Amino acid sequence: MTKITRAQLEEAAALVHGVMPATPQYAWPLLKARLGVEVVVKHENHTPTGAFKVRGGIVYLDRLRRERPDVRGIVSATRGNHGQSLALAGARAGVPVTIVAPHGNAREKNAAMRAFGAELIEHGEDFEAARSLLPQLAEERGYEVVPSFHPDLVAGVASYALELFTACPDLHTVYVPIGLGSGICGLIAARDALGLDTQIVGVVSENADAYARSLEAGEIIATETSRTFADGMATRQPDPDAFAIIRAGAARIVRVSDPEVAEAIRIYHEDTHNLAEGAGAAPLAALAREIRNGDAVFPEGARVGVILCGGNIDRGVAARVLAGETPEPA
């Protein structure tokens, strides 16, 4: 994948901002008091789908509709936020959308995808199994398969990074979760296009750490399972293009446990009164872990960013987390 220029970022942002306003970034004082460093939260939980992925769908469908106005439909796999993005964008573009999600997927994410207009099919026990059905569906229906990682998706989600770095160009470090990789790659693309030296730290679940293992090995390493309640990070197989960008542009990848993610959800609720899904809370969990363990030391007066990438957590899961529990993976 070639580098994204500032002009391309601004073009993608213009498309996104034709559908939704820029999301806010706030430095919450209670987080600073708790962690000892000023923490700027990028609130991607404040989008029309409750997550950052909506940006990529808007850009992808715009290009597809212009280049292939006769496209019959699209099909993709998801744990929820990518599917909502395509469903919203597909409805706006008049393109039928079929989404495949694994059995046991978040009930409220499934409901949202259907509400945005997608046909939802449940297949397999995890994301990789759900994705395996796509070639068959595409052939049967004459639909285009939309991957979870694609230059259009990266350019779209990079608009959140353009907003963040334009508002806060002095951020020392930004922590961002890794699912298939569009979020962190968009952040790296915007950082590089703007000529900043901000460190970018990826965050994965210790139970779904394929990207961390791959970075350590210098080659792609898949895992057998991805059992974490933070479903936005439940990935077993890294994308080669995403891995190349992460390897070249990320400072490091931090693993976090499910109990640490659950605690970060509680911290968000207590200190900011925002509800975060598991992947959305993972960057805060990683920052807290690194400060606690002395793995990250920031200069006096430094500001650190965390990407609250989404707030789509089922009510029952949120209730258990806020009550002090760590939910079992679905």
Domain boundary among the residues 110, 145, 180 is at 145
Helix H segments across the chain? Answer: 6-17, 29-35, 54-67, 81-93, 107-115, 127-131, 134-141, 151-167, 182-193, 210-217, 240-249, 258-272, 278-293, 315-322
Element (H, E) at 144: strand 144-145
Long-range CB pairs of 26-33 (<8 Å, 24+ gap) are 26/272, 27/303, 28/271, 28/272, 30/270, 30/271, 30/272, 31/267, 31/271, 31/272, 31/284
Same domain, 190 and 316: yes
Q: Which residues of the chain have pLDDT under 70?
A: 330
Q: What is the reported pLDDT for 224? A: 87
- Domain annotation covers residue 329: no
* Residues in CB range of 14: below 8 A, 6 or more apart: none
Pair 207, 218 in one domain: yes
Residue 45 sits in the same domain as residue 67: no
> What confidence score (pLDDT) does residue 330 get?
67
Q: What's the pLDDT score for residue 225?
A: 83
177 and 44, same domain (yes or no): yes
Please, are residues 126 and 226 in contact by the beta-carbon 8 Å criterion? Answer: yes
**How many structural domains are present in the chain?**
2
- Considering the domain boundaries, does residue 169 fall inside one? yes
Which of 145, 178, 211 terminates a domain? The answer is 145
| In a shared domain, residues 157 and 303 | yes
Q: Are residues 131 and 273 in the same domain?
A: no
Same domain, 302 and 181: yes
48 & 69 share domain: no
Domain ends where: 102, 130, 145? 145
Which pLDDT does position 159 carry in this prediction? 98
Q: Is residue 273 part of a domain?
A: yes
Q: Are residues 114 and 234 in the same domain?
A: no
pLDDT digits (tens, 9 = 90+) for 43-95: 999 999 999 999 999 999 999 999 999 999 999 999 889 999 999 999 999 99
* 317 assigned to some structural domain: yes
- Shared domain check, 81 and 38: no
Task: Say if 328 falls within a structural domain.
Answer: no
What is the phi/psi pair of residue 35, to 5°? -105, -15
- Whether residues 299 and 209 fall in one domain: yes
Pair of tokens at residue 49: 């789908």
SS3 249: helix
| Nearest C-alpha neighbor of 181 from the set 226, 151, 145 | 151
Euclidean distance between CA atoms 129 and 114, whole angstroms: 21
- What's the confidence (pLDDT) of residue 126? 87
Phi and psi angles of residue 214, each rounded to the nearest 5 degrees, phi first: -65, -40
Kindly report the CATH number assigned to the domain that includes residue 35.
3.40.50.1100
Q: Enumerate residues 6+ apart whose C-beta is below 8 A from 297.
A: none
- 1 occurs within a structural domain: no
Shared domain check, 27 and 139: no
What letter would DSSP give residue 301?
A: T
| Contact between 75 and 134 (Cβ < 8 Å) | yes
Could you tell me the residue range of the domain that residue 296 belongs to? Answer: 6-52+151-323
What is the C-alpha separation between 13 and 180, in angstroms, rounded?
21
Phi-psi region of 36 (alpha: psi -120 to 50; beta: other; left: phi over 0): left
On whether residue 267 sits in a domain, the answer given is yes
